[in-house]
Amino acid sequence: MPANQIAIALSKGRIFEQTLPLLKAAGIVPRDDPESSRKLIIATSRPEVRLIIVRASDVPTYVQYGAADLGIAGLDVLLEHNGAGLYRPIDLDIARCRMMVAVPNGFDYEAAVRRGARLRVATKYIQTAREHFAAKGMHVDLIKLYGSMELAPLTGLSDAIVDLVSSGNTLKANNLKAVEEIFAISSRLIVNRAALKLRHAQVQPMLDAFAAAVVKG
């Protein structure tokens, strides 16, 4: 990558959509829409800035290794990714939701906790779930899934799930209820530490523009 090029890693879908106004505030308008074009590298109105479209959970990896200078990723993803080399400066306050424990409607979670039941919990967020239940002093068997966590209790794979919830409609549609909030989630702007130092003159104004746009928004 030429020394003056800046790459921003982000995922398509809700994060891309909700990042557009923030990019615009930094004078960055994408030349293509990743939903319709199949391009994975998208040029922008600023010739030195390009967007790299990756899976949400791959964003920290690109930034950690410096393949992208900046990235936008959910706190859920960042907490599962235990990589060094990331600077996490700005809560963008987008893609907001909550990390929750959910169980079938008829299941008395509180009673299960009180009697020290050993629960099976299916989740994409193994690290987060492990820490949460350990802090509660609960013994759980964690089952790693990559999507559609709601199916697990319905099919007998698990007693509970740990998943992201926003409206709660998906839980409701599948006869599940949220019983515990683990934390509030939003997306963060992350920066490669070396890029922040070595390309400070380029990166810092971008961070400032994002920060200003969030405060104003």
Which two tokens mark 208? 């400032």
State which of residues 28, 56, 68, 160 lies at the interface with ligand ATP (CB under 6 A): 56
DSSP per-residue letters across 166-179: SSSHHHHHTTEEEE
State which of residues 20, 24, 57, 211 lies at the interface with ligand ATP (CB under 6 A): 57
Which two tokens mark 18? 């909700």
Amino acid making up residue 112: A
| Closer residue to ligand ATP (CB): 30 or 74 | 74
**What distance lies between CA 130 and its chain's CA centroid?**
18
Of 53, 106, 88, the C-alpha closest to 186 is 88
Which uninterrupted H or E stretch holds 111?
A: helix 109-114
Write each residue from 88 to 127 as x if it is in contact with ligand ATP (CB under 6 A), else as -, in one continuous string: -------xxx------------------------------
State which of residues 102, 129, 140, 185 lies at the interface with ligand ATP (CB under 6 A): 185
| Closer residue to ligand ATP (CB): 53 or 119 | 53
If one asks whether residue 159 binds ligand ATP (CB under 6 A), the answer comes out as: no
Q: Which residues contact 125 (CB under 8 A, 6 or more apart)?
A: 76, 79, 80, 99, 162, 163
Provide the pairing of β-strand 70-74 with 187-192.
antiparallel
State which of residues 9, 15, 28, 101 lies at the interface with ligand ATP (CB under 6 A): 15
Hey, which residues between 65 and 94 contact ligand ATP (CB under 6 A)?
A: 74, 76-77
State which of residues 13, 27, 205, 217 lies at the interface with ligand ATP (CB under 6 A): 13
The residues that bridge with 183 in the sheet, in sequence order, are 99
For ligand ATP, the binding residues (CB under 6 A) are 11, 13-15, 55-57, 74, 76-77, 95-97, 147, 164, 166, 185, 187
